[in-house]
Amino acid sequence: MNDILGYKGKSVVITGAASGMGQAAAQLLVDLGAEVYALDIAPVTVPVAKAIKVDMKDHGSIDEAVAALPQKIYALFNCAGVPSPPFSAKDTVLINFVGLRYLTDSLIPRIEDCGGIASIASTAGMAWRPKLEKVQEFLALDNSQEAATQWMSDNPKDCADGYGFSKQCIIVYTMQSAKALAARNIRINCISPSPTDSGFMDKLKGEGQMPAEAIDLFLPSNGRYATGAEMGEPLVLLNSRLASFVSGNNLPVDFGYCAELFMGQRDDLLGITA
């Protein structure tokens, strides 16, 4: 069966396509015959149909990018993200979630019947359950930079870990949006990767001054970092025809790390099982 994933000739939008998981997903989509529109603040080297420079913490920049995109889109892939540190907690939340949500909400009216949205969360966001009330309070704001910035200023303890909070928001937003999108026959899912070998990780360990030994505590029992492709592939699968009845899910892509936590086989350092 040709085109088993259903991307051939389809218009897809992907953020964060310049590196890491987003770059791997973008290349796979090109190889599958999709018409790929790539959004990134950095230069995109994958041979996409169109690369558009965008600053995900600037809604004006996102508006300009949206204006340059097709009126009909089959799938949206939200892959852009930054670590904190070295980025501030505020900028991390604005880029990783507020911009993601603004772009997603802007493009939902253009997504075709049976289309999909897939985002990259993180194992670092898997402890969303004990934080649900605060995350939902944040999600209830109007989706503006001003409202988000004011809330973070008023609730500094709740978003002190900007990276973890932003990823909790992605997970809850994904699940919370599934009902309304199902009524339009649009799917929404996210993945939660374990530590992955990428420029993002290099920045986290380098400029962020986070020791490799600390990150290694969150590796699965196979003892290694994932590759960008090992994350890009399940992301592409979730928006594909093969996952046509899959929605509202946060898929751990961690070689069993979270399973080990839920089975009490290792220490729950993030509070995921709370």
pLDDT in tens, 183-221: 999 999 999 999 988 666 666 555 555 667 777 888 999
Inside any domain, residue 188: yes
Closest alpha carbon to 198 in 106, 120, 145: 120
What's residue 205's pLDDT?
Answer: 56
Percentage of residues of the chain with pLDDT beyond 70: 95
Inside any domain, residue 72: yes
Inside any domain, residue 1: no
Inside any domain, residue 4: no
Around Cβ 36, how many Cβ atoms within 10 Å?
27
Count of structural domains, the chain: 1
Around Cβ 99, how many Cβ atoms within 10 Å?
26
Closest alpha carbon to 116 in 240, 271, 264, 205: 240
- Written as six digits, the tokens of 61 are 């920049």
- Written as six digits, the tokens of 87 are 């980025």
Inside any domain, residue 271: no
What is the total residue count of the chain?
Answer: 274
What's residue 266's pLDDT?
Answer: 94
CA distance 248 to 240: 15
Inside any domain, residue 181: yes
| pLDDT digit string, tens, across residues 97-131 | 999 999 999 999 999 999 999 999 999 999 999 99
For 24, the domain range is 11-262
Looking up residue 245, the CATH number of its domain turns out to be 3.40.50.720
Inside any domain, residue 3: no
What's residue 199's pLDDT?
Answer: 65
Inside any domain, residue 159: yes
Closest alpha carbon to 186 in 140, 235, 239, 234: 239
Residue segments in the chain with a per-residue pLDDT below the cut of 50: none
Average predicted confidence (pLDDT) for the chain? 94
Burial of 265 from C-beta contacts in 10 A (0-12 / 13-18 / 19+): exposed
